[in-house]
Amino acid sequence: MSAHANLERRRQAIYGWLLLSPAAILLTLFAFYPSVATLWSSLFSRGTRRNPTEFVGTENYAELFADPTFWIVVKNNLLYAGVTIPVSIFIALSMALWANGKIRARGFVRTAYFTPTVLPMIAAANLWLFFYTPGLGVLDQIGSLFGLPSVNWLGQPETALWAIIIVTIWKEAGFFMIFYLAALQTIPEDLKEAADIEGASRWTYTRRIVLPLLMPTTLFIAVNAMINSVKLIDHLFILTKGGPSDASKLILYYIYEMAFAFFDAPSAAAMTMMVIAVLGIVAAVQFLYLDKRTHYQ
């Protein structure tokens, strides 16, 4: 190979690495290294003044599996994910289909749907705290108009998690709607016209044409919603703090408690590793399985 071609190849290689390096450095510093460090520390015992840290292998994990609170939290989080993901996707899709139609005040409707997304979660939680407060809250005020008894939505184990779930759906649906709206804009108008001429009803058109064409977006949103179902816990701090009696405690909140309230870093690390593993597996399944059945334009 001639010298200048060799030089050119090397230049290209350097150029490529330079472009990669900002992301590579930041990800290594704040994602890869912490992950590995967490995995490492999850294998050691909690150090005290008398018992220094020592390698214990999977003992931290075994301890967690024996912890009844851990199983409550897992069950809570599964219910939380199982309800918030499909419901917020369904509501987002319905709102997008509606806000994409030829309706009056379309701009207003879109903005209104999007408002919850713009609000910080802490502010939104305070807002909902006011709704849920027994006696004073808006829900109770409305209930009392119809002679219903006062309900402490956040204060009783049967309703606390559901109250949290509703706040999350309210917060997420508008955000997901924006993605669906953007995707709907890319579906050409004449597909609808062609379907009209073929005699397809609005429902058939939606089911056979629109929904399949929205699949890439749905997949993206589903993965995001799944991650959020683990990640989004800000409102717990305001509304319930995981209570009453762990009824609304989610896994990340429990990790936070472990690490910074009980100062049991190894257990928190072990739990974090399990969350990463589960999220990774589910995301992989979603992408690998659904990707095959998804049409990308």
Partner 1 sequence: MTTSPFVKLDGVAKRWNGQLGVEGITLDIPEGSFTALLGPSGCGKSTTLRLLAGLELPDEGKILIDTKDVTTSAASDRNLSMVFQSYALFPHLSVAENVVFGLKVRRVPKKERLEKLHRALEITGLLGLEDRKPGELSGGQRQRVALARAIVAGQRLCLMDEPLSNLDAKLRNAVRKDIKKLQRELGITVVYVTHDQTEAMSMADTVVLMKDGHIQQVGSPEDLYSRPNNTFVAEFVGAPPMALFQSSVLEGFGEDKTIGIRAENIQIVPRGEGRMRCTVNESEFLGAETLIGLDHAGAEGLCVLKPGLSLMAEGNEIDIMFSDENLHVFDAVGQRMVG
Among the listed ranges 13-21, 163-171, 194-202, 272-280, the one in contact with partner 1 (CB under 8 A) is 194-202
122's enclosing H/E stretch is helix 121-132
Among the listed ranges 40-48, 96-104, 209-217, 275-283, the one in contact with partner 1 (CB under 8 A) is 209-217
Q: Which of 194, 277, 281, 285 binds partner 1 (CB under 8 A)?
A: 194
Instruction: Report the distance separating Cα 244 and Cα 157, nearest Å.
Output: 6
Q: Is 191 in the site for partner 1 (CB under 8 A)?
A: yes
Least distance (Å) between residue 216 CB and partner 1: 10
Q: Which of 193, 262, 281, 289 binds partner 1 (CB under 8 A)?
A: 193
Tell me how crowded residue 250 is: count the other CB atoms within 10 A of its CB: 25
Query: Of 50 and 104, which has the nearer Cβ to partner 1?
Result: 104
Least distance (Å) between residue 88 CB and partner 1: 25
Q: Is 158 in the site for partner 1 (CB under 8 A)?
A: no
Q: Is 188 in the site for partner 1 (CB under 8 A)?
A: yes
Instruction: Report the distance separating Cα 142 and Cα 159, nearest Å.
Output: 18
Among the listed ranges 108-116, 184-192, 240-248, 262-270, the one in contact with partner 1 (CB under 8 A) is 184-192
Q: Which of 64, 124, 166, 213 binds partner 1 (CB under 8 A)?
A: 213
Q: Is 101 in the site for partner 1 (CB under 8 A)?
A: no
For residues 149-187, b (16+ Cβ closer than 10 Å) or e, as one string? eebbbbbeeebbbebbbbbbbebbbbbbbbbbbebbeee
Q: Is 290 in the site for partner 1 (CB under 8 A)?
A: no
Q: Is 292 in the site for partner 1 (CB under 8 A)?
A: no
What tokens does 283 get?
């995301």
Least distance (Å) between residue 293 CB and partner 1: 10
How many residues form the binding site for partner 1 (CB under 8 A)? 19
**C-alpha distance from residue 226 to each of 85, 136, 161, 163 (Å):** 7, 34, 17, 19
Query: Of 28 and 204, which has the nearer Cβ to partner 1?
Result: 204
Among the listed ranges 8-16, 68-76, 188-196, 248-256, the one in contact with partner 1 (CB under 8 A) is 188-196
Q: Is 212 in the site for partner 1 (CB under 8 A)?
A: yes
283 SS3 class: helix
Q: The tokens 């290209």 sit on which residue?
A: 12
Q: Is 197 in the site for partner 1 (CB under 8 A)?
A: yes
Q: Is 185 in the site for partner 1 (CB under 8 A)?
A: no
What is the number of helices (H) and of strands (E) in the chain?
A: 15, 0
In the beta sheet, which residues pair with residue 44? 55
Q: Are 49 and 263 contacting, i.e. CB atoms less than 8 angstroms apart? A: no
- 263 φψ region: left (φ > 0), alpha (ψ -120 to 50), beta (else): left
Instruction: Report the distance separating Cα 7 and Cα 5, nearest Å.
Output: 5
Least distance (Å) between residue 205 CB and partner 1: 9
Tell me how crowded residue 236 is: count the other CB atoms within 10 A of its CB: 22
Q: The tokens 């713009």 sit on which residue?
A: 118
The footprint of partner 1 (CB under 8 A) covers 188, 190-191, 193-201, 204, 208-209, 212-213, 295, 297
